[in-house]
Amino acid sequence: MNYNKKSVTDIDVSGKKILLRCDFNVPLDKESGAITDEGRITASLPTITYLLDNGAAVIVCSHLGRPDGEWKPKLSLKVVADRLSGLLGKPVIMAEDVAGEDARQRAATLRAGEILMLENLRFHKEEEKNDPSFARALADMADIYVDDAFGTAHRAHASTEGVSRYLPAVSGFLIAKELRYIGGALQNPKRPFIAILGGSKVSDKLGVIINLLSKVDALLIGGGMAFTFIKACGGSIGKSLCEEDKLDYALDVLEKAKKQGVRILLPVDAVAAAAFSNDAEAVIVDSTAIPDNMLGLDIGPETSRAFADEIRNAATVIWNGPMGVFEMPKFAEGTSVVAYALADSGAISIVGGGDSAAAIRKFGLEDKVTHVSTGGGATLEFMEGIELPGIACLLDK
């Protein structure tokens, strides 16, 4: 996978019509349909502003929710166009369709410095099918394609990959940042390079573990997934999460790590309770001797200290997955210690999407780390070293 891709700053956008793929899949209030978190819209402002300020006419497209190829007025992007207009302080013209008569006419008359929003891409089933004529219809409205929707970059859809067959394709600032930091860490990391993996299941992160093993100096494993490793090594884990069918895999990983000279740190202690509940009494136990009636719900204090020390001494850190059930205050300490250690470290600190991004936000530390990935599934696939179609299709530098 080549991470060295052209971005908007590598091309001349002046006087050009840009088809800009954003991720405006914002959460909506079920009752009122109002946007409940505008984070994805504000995240795209730097790219939109750059294009408008540099003399481009911008045609924005996105999906919203899961209309599954049907025209569902409740999932119209009009609500996003209005919010974007407020944030930009200028009108955002709303097309009545996606690539139909209205959109085409409005795109044709769009002038430099103006912005047009197309309707929800997934109102057409052709979008997710990567239908060539639908991609062509989108592309025909513009001169250049800019992709800033990292969250859908692992999908080969008409608006994420198909259009690149008809238009020169480059990244916006959001994807450029994913490439610089996650791509940079995978390709040419500053060392020591460590990865901290957590979350519930080993099975979700098999590919990530294997890919990172060949790159990192140390792998720190916490969260529910650590217990499969601990059991595989002969530990007693009580009622903790365990994937019995992954015990051999865990041993295999430990063996490979040894051969490759990669240190693997597993929790030495755990915060355990008799029930999966914030009301249950929490006790600190040896992670290899968890009482039969208990389950481990967080890493213990000694493990937290060891993980924080590793982070302090690292030059690059990738973190994906919480260290415990951080949604419950009693079991959030391990995740909090890791988040603060990352925020305090001088390392290039990269937080994978999904729950670890939610955790870093929960602790208010988003601006204290180098990069919080905007993807969920896309971030995991990226970390697995899989070629993402929405990135592979961009022009090489």
* Helical (H) or strand (E) element with 41: helix 39-53
| DSSP state, residue 356 | H
Cβ of residue 224: shortest distance to ligand AMP, in angstroms?
3
CA distance 166 to 9: 20
CA distance 382 to 185: 11
The reply to whether 322 sits near ligand AMP by the rule CB under 6 A is: yes
Q: Is 57 exposed, middle or buried (0-12, 13-18, 19+ CB in 10 A)?
A: buried
Nearer to ligand AMP, 128 or 355 (CB): 355
Nearer to ligand AMP, 172 or 223 (CB): 223
Cβ of residue 200: shortest distance to ligand AMP, in angstroms?
4
Q: How many residues bind ligand AMP (CB under 6 A)?
A: 17
Strands, E, within the chain: which ranges?
17-21, 57-61, 93-94, 115-117, 144-147, 169-171, 193-197, 218-221, 263-265, 269-273, 283-286, 295-299, 316-320, 348-351, 371-372
Cβ of residue 204: shortest distance to ligand AMP, in angstroms?
5
The reply to whether 325 sits near ligand AMP by the rule CB under 6 A is: yes
Candidates 200, 278, 288, 370; binder of ligand AMP (CB under 6 A) is 200
**Contact track, ligand AMP, 69-108, x by CB under 6 A:** ----------------------------------------
The reply to whether 352 sits near ligand AMP by the rule CB under 6 A is: no
Cβ of residue 287: shortest distance to ligand AMP, in angstroms?
10
Residues 6+ apart with CB under 8 A from 216: 189, 193, 194, 195, 262, 318
Extract the tokens encoding 99: 């690539």
The reply to whether 361 sits near ligand AMP by the rule CB under 6 A is: no
With beta carbons less than 8 A apart as the criterion, state whether 77 and 119 touch: yes
Candidates 67, 324, 353, 390; binder of ligand AMP (CB under 6 A) is 324
Q: Which residues are near ligand AMP by CB under 6 A?
A: 198-201, 204, 223-224, 241, 296-297, 321-322, 324-325, 327, 354-355
